[in-house]
């Protein structure tokens, strides 16, 4: 646990980042600025090796995320889920991070609207808010009806203004973002068909993809 001081506000954005792209980076930066976070950690998820698609290894995904956030505070990388070499539940990640922080530090789990709607399928999902707040990245064009299973939770835990979130955990807020029509799937398809992905990923990530021949159709 850290020394006592001003409570920190830490965002966590999990994903496969295969590869990391401007949608992730803009999303993380915008949330960070809107909510006033000290740090947003990008947390690459462990993913079992996949045969049929030209996906990249955990090491390549991690290296690309590191390249993407270098010299880009407040974005950082947290590699703990890859270090375990097996799938981690978000709850495990939250518990292990919590153990490193002060009791009054705030953790903000950042999830897209789609991921949030799937929350009831997550391992021990009803305990997530014991460890963190949840910030839902909502888009003006997204379906705004939450599933039935989340209605009570939203009624009890959501606040209108993310800036009013208080305490170390337990609340939910929405942050509204202009949509960026980019996905890792699209980037992989572009690369597999020999098209350019310039400006969809940071230049350093593009240089790494090219140097290692990632996502080519023959991989
Ligand atoms: P894939 O296409 O392989 O499914 P992805 O582009 O959706 O990948 P992930 O690594 O699965 O990327 O996403 C991690 C997180 O980033 C998720 O919470 C997701 O909602 C968010 N995210 C992905 N793309 C965007 C985008 N264009 N704008 C904002 N957030 C995004």
Helix, strand, coil tally for the chain in percent (to 5): 40, 15, 45
Query: 188-211: per-residue pLDDT in tens?
Result: 999 999 999 999 999 999 999 999
Asked if 45 and 205 touch (Cβ cutoff 8 Å), the reply is no
Extended strands (E) in the chain: 9-15, 39-44, 75-77, 106-112, 133-138, 172-176
Q: Could you tell me how many helices (H) and strands (E) the chain has, helices first?
A: 8, 6
Return d(Cα 143, Cα 131) in angstroms, integer: 27
34-49 average pLDDT score: 90
The burial class, CB within 10 Å (0-12 / 13-18 / 19+), for 3 is exposed
Predicted local distance difference test score (pLDDT) of residue 218: 65
Please tell me the residue having the least CA distance from ligand 1 atom 26: 23
Query: What's the ipTM?
Result: 0.96
Considering only CA atoms, which of 183, 203, 169, 168 is closest in space to residue 27? 183
pLDDT at 50 over 80: no
Asked if 44 and 55 touch (Cβ cutoff 8 Å), the reply is no
Q: What are phi and psi of 13, to 5 degrees?
A: -120, 105
Q: Of all atoms in ligand 1, which is nearest to the CA of residue 112?
A: 20
pLDDT band for 3, please (50, 70, 90 cuts).
low
Please tell me the residue having the least CA distance from ligand 1 atom 13: 15
Which among 12, 15, 22 is the best mutation to test ligand 1's pocket, defined by most ligand atoms within 8 Å of the CB?
15
């Amino acid at each position: 646990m850290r020394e006592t001081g001003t409570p920190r506000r830490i965002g966590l954005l999990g994903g496969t980042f295969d590869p990391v792209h401007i949608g992730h980076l803009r999303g993380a930066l915008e949330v960070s600025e809107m909510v006033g976070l000290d740090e947003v950690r990008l947390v690459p998820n462990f993913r079992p090796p996949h045969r049929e698609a030209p996906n990249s290894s955990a090491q390549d995904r991690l290296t690309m995320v590191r390249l993407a956030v270098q010299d880009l505070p407040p974005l950082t990388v947290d590699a703990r889920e890859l270090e375990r070499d097996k799938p981690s539940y978000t709850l495990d990640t939250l518990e292990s991070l919590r153990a490193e922080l002060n009791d009054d530090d705030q953790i903000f789990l950042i999830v897209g609207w789609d991921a949030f709607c799937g929350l009831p399928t997550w391992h021990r999902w009803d305990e997530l808010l014991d460890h963190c707040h949840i910030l839902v990245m909502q888009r003006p064009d997204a379906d705004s009806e939450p599933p039935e299973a989340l209605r009570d939770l939203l009624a009890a835990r959501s606040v209108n203004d993310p800036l009013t979130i208080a305490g170390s955990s337990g609340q939910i807020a929405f942050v509204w973002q202009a949509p960026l029509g980019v996905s890792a799937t699209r980037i992989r398809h572009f690369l597999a068909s020999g098209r350019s992905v310039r400006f969809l990923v940071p230049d350093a990530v593009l240089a790494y993809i090219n140097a290692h021949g990632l996502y080519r159709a023959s991989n």
